[in-house]
Chains A and B, each alone.
Chain A
């Protein structure tokens, strides 16, 4: 259990550093790569481990902690996105096809961006924040495209990723949710 938790934490911080410290320096639109979201949804839907849910919550918490998120409620948004991902993975899509993975990712991404847009609209309506909606829509489209590309690549290396997860004991033989 301790090893599993430690492994999940190390992988989480590795992905978080890659997204904010490496990908963050790249020019647009490459810096919009949703690495943690893609890996979390992939873990939930294709690998079948709930650790992806915790990664999404952790990402939101980290954004709120360092104040580099889109809105100040990233933990809540991460929680909702992860929750929807688990529900959709369990009841809606199979974990054997690329379409199932992309379908689950699309729904999770839609929920995440819808919540972001709601909070941004509330903040801009209260004049707490100036929002460039054209920039936001452009970002949403690009990030969606990059999410699909990233998940397709993950699916291509599905066997190796599953071996990696099993090696780190992140996949249990029992059904976790």
Chain B
């Protein structure tokens, strides 16, 4: 076996090969990330377009039952949206009257997703923004106006690692949009759903209720949409009840996200 027995050329090439890899990746971490992000963009764009077409052809068109469920969910949420808008207007007026001052604010930076993890355990991706853009660990990643999709796990100079809410290591402080604003912890399960844990037994949790960030976690503003309750598991003998939450969006359909950065970090 030439790899192990006295072939000094093979051992030397192994040694130099490993050394070269280490040095090369050191170079990448310091200087190469912007070039890599630039090179990865066309691949990501093609993959996103292909995935969208695939979903259109083989996804929604073939699931009329899922479509009906979504229609019902829209009606339920629309009723909530009307009362929410009324409360928002009322709140705004009251704040103006009290001359209320916002103590904290968040800036945002847009980022492209350039790389995905390709295993079923972790749901993580790399974006092309890093410390030079003001991104910090723990900052929230959102889609659109305020749909929470994950938080920053690790930051480098030009890139950052985002852990989605579906990652099994992900835990987010959340609250239900119900009358009592039930708070709890939303944990990723590694699959397509979240688990909403530690709900007191006396709380009224219903299917199709919205889950939002509670604001109790540093770096994550309140009222970012996390998902909608899909199922409630109530065991009278257990101290807490548990709900299954479905995210509002499939993050793999998006190539561009926003990172909310606390104003002190900007």
Q: Is the CB of A20 within 8 A of B118?
A: yes
In order of increasing CB-CB distance, the 3 nearest A-B pairs are A24-B116, A25-B47, A21-B43
Would you call B212 an interface residue if the criterion is a C-beta within 8 Å of the partner chain's C-beta atoms?
no
Q: Is the CB of A23 within 8 A of B39?
A: no
Residue in chain B with minimal CB distance to A34: B118
Q: Is the CB of B44 within 8 A of A21?
A: yes
Q: Is the CB of A61 within 8 A of B116?
A: no
Q: Which of A99-107, A130-138, A158-166 contacts B (4 or more CB under 8 A)?
A: A130-138
The total of interchain contacts (Cβ-Cβ below 8 angstroms) comes to 126
Residue in chain B with minimal CB distance to A62: B25
> Mind listing 21 A-B residue pairs with CB under 8 Å?
A9-B24, A18-B43, A20-B115, A20-B116, A21-B43, A24-B115, A24-B116, A24-B118, A25-B44, A25-B116, A27-B55, A27-B252, A30-B54, A57-B18, A66-B159, A67-B124, A69-B122, A130-B168, A131-B168, A135-B191, A177-B3
Q: Is the CB of A22 within 8 A of B44?
A: yes
Chain A positions 12 through 55: 1 when the CB is less than 8 Å from some CB of chain B, otherwise 0: 01000111111111110011100000000000000000000010
Chain B residues in 8 Å Cβ range of A5: 20
Chain B positions 129 through 150: 1 when the CB is less than 8 Å from some CB of chain A, otherwise 0: 0000000000000000000000
Number of interface residues of B (CB under 8 A): 49
Would you call B180 an interface residue if the criterion is a C-beta within 8 Å of the partner chain's C-beta atoms?
no
Which one, B116, B117, B120, B169, contacts A138 given CB within 8 A? B120
| Chain B residues touching A, majority SS | mixed
Interface centre among B2, B55, B120, B159 (most CB of A within 10 A): B120
What's the least CB distance linking A155 to chain B, in Å?
Answer: 23
CA gap between A103 and B139 in the complex, in Å: 47
What's the least CB distance linking A149 to chain B, in Å?
Answer: 17
CA gap between A64 and B25 in the complex, in Å: 11
Chain B positions 104 through 128: 1 when the CB is less than 8 Å from some CB of chain A, otherwise 0: 0000000000111111111011100
What's the least CB distance linking B72 to chain A, in Å?
Answer: 24
Would you call A144 an interface residue if the criterion is a C-beta within 8 Å of the partner chain's C-beta atoms?
no
What's the least CB distance linking B11 to chain A, in Å?
Answer: 12
- Additional A-B contact list (7), CB under 8 Å, known A24-B116, A135-B191: A27-B54, A30-B54, A31-B116, A65-B29, A68-B124, A70-B122, A131-B121
Chain B residues in 8 Å Cβ range of A131: 121, 168, 190
What's the least CB distance linking B23 to chain A, in Å?
Answer: 12
Q: Is the CB of A17 within 8 A of B40?
A: yes
What's the least CB distance linking A55 to chain B, in Å?
Answer: 11
CA gap between A69 and B41 in the complex, in Å: 20
Given A30-B54, A58-B21, A61-B21, is A177 in contact with B120 using a C-beta cutoff of 8 Å? no
Would you call A83 an interface residue if the criterion is a C-beta within 8 Å of the partner chain's C-beta atoms?
yes
Chain A residues in 8 Å Cβ range of B51: 25-27, 30
Chain A residues in 8 Å Cβ range of B116: 20-21, 24-25, 31, 68
